[in-house]
Chain A
Amino acid sequence: MIRAEGLAKRYGSKIAVDDITFTVRPGVVTGFLGPNGAGKSTTMRMIVGLDRPSAGTVTVNGRAYAQHAAPLREVGALLDAKAIHTGRSAYNRLLAMGATHGIGKARVREVIALTGLESVANKRVGGFSLGMGQRLGIAAALLGDPATLILDEPVNGLDPEGVMWVRNLARHLASEGRTIFLSSHLMSEMALTADHLIVLGRGRILADAPVAEILAASTRTSVRLRSPQADRLAALLRGPDVTVTPTEQGALSVTGLTAADIGDAAAGAGIPLHELTPVAASLEEAYMELTQDDVEYHAGGAGPTGRAAGSDPAAATGTGTTEYQEVAR
């Protein structure tokens, strides 16, 4: 169980993490999703005390990480695995880390076997590929058999088999009742691994909900239409399962009806239509929409249209889908 309250981190005038509050629960895989620079890594580093929060607190199982008698048994963390380049062998690196807690050779060999590093365990880590480094980082995280596992971009650099392995490992460990918190900037990966999502953008939480909920909301198809008699048409279409939202003068966004239903209804009532467009949001699009205003480094081109849609958690539930389409044009 990880609990952050009013957590914030500033570097000079730059705000990396902006007053976030969340809980990561045991027994499920919680995904931490957001574009690069959103503050995911900083948040994870604050959880294990590598970075000092500018404000707020974060606890693991009710205590600050540093206050635990056996920190490695509470939390195993994989942070920034790519930085591992050393003259030490994987075996010695793990042995040195474990020694602080009296974790011996047997357990070190166990995690080496678990992460498939047997053949390279005595090689110097400097020659490791990104995928090997990632496996070593995961081995280090598992060393203390921790109740909480924090993995920052764990599938980075892994081959498809490795990705599958991490996914199964995370799900298996969660099923044992552990707290699993893993970050990614890939929605598709999270959709397969996580049960719950916390979406971060520019240091703020954009959404905090079960994956199923975010999926259901964001994959709902909507229909965009234009009509000179939009108000009359809106009144005609409204129903128990139908939401009609005026988007601009003479334009509506309708969910709960197909384009054919709307076209037939309009024809029946003699209302002219100037546009009738089904708008389907994919998972990736829903995520893009959620975070578009909060991406720190745009690739250029379309700029943000304003923070309203992105920063409002309600937008996470998909009503703003059409706006994403507008921007994309």
Chain B
Amino acid sequence: MKTFFYGIVLFCVATMAQATGPRVTSALLTPAVNEIFALDFPAVLSSELADGGIAAALITAAFKAEQVESTLTVLPLKTMLAYYLNEENALGIAGYDLDLSAAELKNLIIVPVVSLKESYFYYRPKYETLTWTGNLADFKNFTIGVNKGESLTAYQKAGIKIEQDRLDARIKALIAGKIDVLRESDLTMKMALAKNFSDQQSAIVRLEPSTEDAIISVVFNKKNPKGAALAKQFQSGLTKLIASGQYNDIIKAHIGDLAMESYFVPVHR
């Protein structure tokens, strides 16, 4: 009986010990599995969107198609992606216009995920008509608004002034006449205008032809022990997605009634 009593006491003490302790400790942190660090790209890959956006959904689904668990961490800065890639040998990074050096590219495997049409836009009250032939020289002495962190060399060579800012600020600058044109993906622009500038949608005009496509890729790091193998699995998963039609379904689920071919370009692999 006594033994039974001590047994009960011991059980209670042990249970209590398990039930107490700091509420928020490192032990409770969920380690990120197969973490890919992605650069924020408004409308398709962004923490501002409920599910991270189209690109985030495609990346997650491609891994899932191969039964690979993954974590996509969207970061606001290219410098942080570079840090994780170079200083911590991250498994991979994802995004558009990632400014990778030739030395870095030797150790990377690039898998394009989605390609968006990108264009220049102008404000009709400022210019009744504006034309461009696809050559940046047409914009000589103009001020162009581009995304923060975008490569500027081509603009500088063409004698173009640059304003770098977040998209909403660039649209405001366009309307205020502080910049002449801005460059953005057609889909991002469409969504931003509908969300915050609905009364200006008809006044902001897209220039034909489109400029270079914005290709969002996942870039795997061969220096990471899992990098090469996961790149292969990811590519395979993406192929399965496309073949099954799930790839298009994910895009359509995000863009609703918009015509897919107006905003996306097939990814060449």
| A associates with B | no
A residues apposed to B, CB below 8 Å:
none
